Structure 1
Amino acid sequence: MADEFQVKIENVVAFTSLDKKIPLLEISNKFEDAEYAPESFPGVVYRIKDPRAATLIFSSGKIVCTGAKSIEKAKEAMHKVVNDIRKLGIRLPVKFTITVENIVASTQIAVSSKQTINLEEISFALENVEYEPEQFPGLVCRISEPRVAFLVFGSGKIICTGARKIEDIYVALGKLKEKLESIGVKVKPMKWMDEEGKAKEVNKPKPKK
């Protein structure tokens, strides 16, 4: 079962397009936590403290949010940015669509303290994988449906990138588990621990009605 995995959301990247020209110099001068260096980057970097996230604001009206720890927080940060721009007297659309572009998540599978996952063996046994330890310590495994990529490390840590829905992470993890177990790799998901060493629930998928 894929939902046995304890998944931790590391980053959510989302964007919106307001179809409205935004005066970047004006907002960079009036926003305390804004950075604007047009000679090196065409947008304003505006950091949000609550929820904690960074946004990229472009003159075309496109806004990108990164660094949020959930889809809800990414959307909250996006609405905050738009409201902050409105407070400067800049008219923006009342309604706009926020699209999730990428969810980065991590999980952990149990590995013996005396062993690590043999990534080289996996790279020879499975298709659609890349393993070049001289360049990167993890094995890259791509899943076509849903379209995501996994970074698998010898320690048992697994990072998922490319998902656009939380459910896709669990579906893809189920497929990754099947692939690994088909070549004899035992996949035993671990629970995340809090500071006191107690297992805690992290981003469980919501049951479908």
Structure 2
Amino acid sequence: MSNPKESITIENVVASTGIGQELDLENVAADLQGADYDPERFPGLVYRTQNPKAAALLFRSGKIVCTGAESTGDVRKSLSIVFEKLRELQIPVEEDPDIIIQNIVSCADLGQNLNLNAIAIGLGLENIEYEPEQFPGLVFRLDEPDVASLLFGSGKLVITGGKERSHSREAIEVIMTRLEEIGLLE
């Protein structure tokens, strides 16, 4: 079996920041080429960057959420593009606003099929949610690191809730150790 930690791919990084002042989203939408603002559908303005590929959600309060990036570096690059576009519109943005990583979603492969029924029984119900009639995966909540993992019968898993890239590796170590302890991982 190959090392599951080597199969980790980051699918989405979500981060938040702010510019410390309210925004007139209608004016920003009118002046910012490529902006999408439809307050009937969504209260924020959506501005997409292409390189790196990400979406910035700008809210009237001046808060900004970046989503869709594939790394924390891409989050920072995408938001620096947004900050520069706002400065070009004569909206003051401090030189280096705080950017807080809220969530890193990653995928990995354990390299073998999993018996989710046996895992649900073996790990106990206190940290497990498994309702195969509702959802084909098993939700395993970890305390350390503080993440939720979705395990699928194929051996694939999704880890969400991490704040650092290392949380995915740590979660896989915990999951593998727990599955080995109950004899469900070779």
Matched with 1:31 is: 32
The CA deviation at 1:22 is 1.4
The CA deviation at 1:13 is 0.3
Question: CA–CA distance in 2 between the matches of 1:69 and 1:122?
Answer: 30
Matched with 2:123 is: 126
What runs of 5+ residues in structure 2 fail to find an aligned partner? none
Question: CA–CA distance in 2 between the matches of 1:103 and 1:153?
Answer: 19
> For 1:123, what is the secondary structure of its paired residue?
helix
- Per-residue displacement from partner, 1:83-112 (whole Å, max 9, x unpaired)? 10110111122231000000000111222x
Matched with 1:196 is: none
Name the amino acid aligned to 1:185: L
> For 2:36, what is the secondary structure of its paired residue?
strand
Q: Assess if the C-alpha contact under 8 Å between 1:14 and 1:64 holds in 2.
A: yes
Question: CA–CA distance in 2 between the matches of 1:164 and 1:59?
Answer: 26
The CA deviation at 1:40 is 2.5
What runs of 5+ residues in structure 1 fail to find an aligned partner? 188-209
> Greater helix percent: which structure?
2
Q: Given the two structures, how large is their TM-score scaled by the length of structure 1?
A: 0.83
Matched with 1:138 is: 137
Q: Assess if the C-alpha contact under 8 Å between 2:16 and 2:102 holds in 1.
A: yes
- Per-residue displacement from partner, 1:30-52 (whole Å, max 9, x unpaired)? 22321111123211011111110
The CA deviation at 1:121 is 1.1
Residue 82 (structure 2) pairs with residue 85 (structure 1) = no
Residue 169 (structure 2) pairs with residue 163 (structure 1) = no
Runs of 4+ in 1 over 3 A off after TM superposition: 2-5
Q: Assess if the C-alpha contact under 8 Å between 1:33 and 1:47 holds in 2.
A: yes
Matched with 1:175 is: 174
- Residue 117 (structure 1) aligned to one of 92, 114, 118: 114
Question: CA–CA distance in 1 between the matches of 2:23 and 2:163?
Answer: 27
The CA deviation at 1:4 is 4.3
Alignment of 1:42-57 (within 5 A): 42-57=43-58
> For 2:56, what is the secondary structure of its paired residue?
strand
Matched with 1:19 is: 20
Cα RMSD (Å) of the superposition? 1.5
- Equivalenced residue count is 182
- Per-residue displacement from partner, 1:144-165 (whole Å, max 9, x unpaired)? 0110010000011011000000
Question: CA–CA distance in 1 between the matches of 2:20 and 2:98?
Answer: 11
Q: Assess if the C-alpha contact under 8 Å between 1:20 and 1:92 holds in 2.
A: no
Question: CA–CA distance in 2 between the matches of 1:61 and 1:3?
Answer: 40
Question: CA–CA distance in 2 between the matches of 1:135 and 1:62?
Answer: 35
Q: Given the two structures, how large is their TM-score scaled by the length of structure 2?
A: 0.93
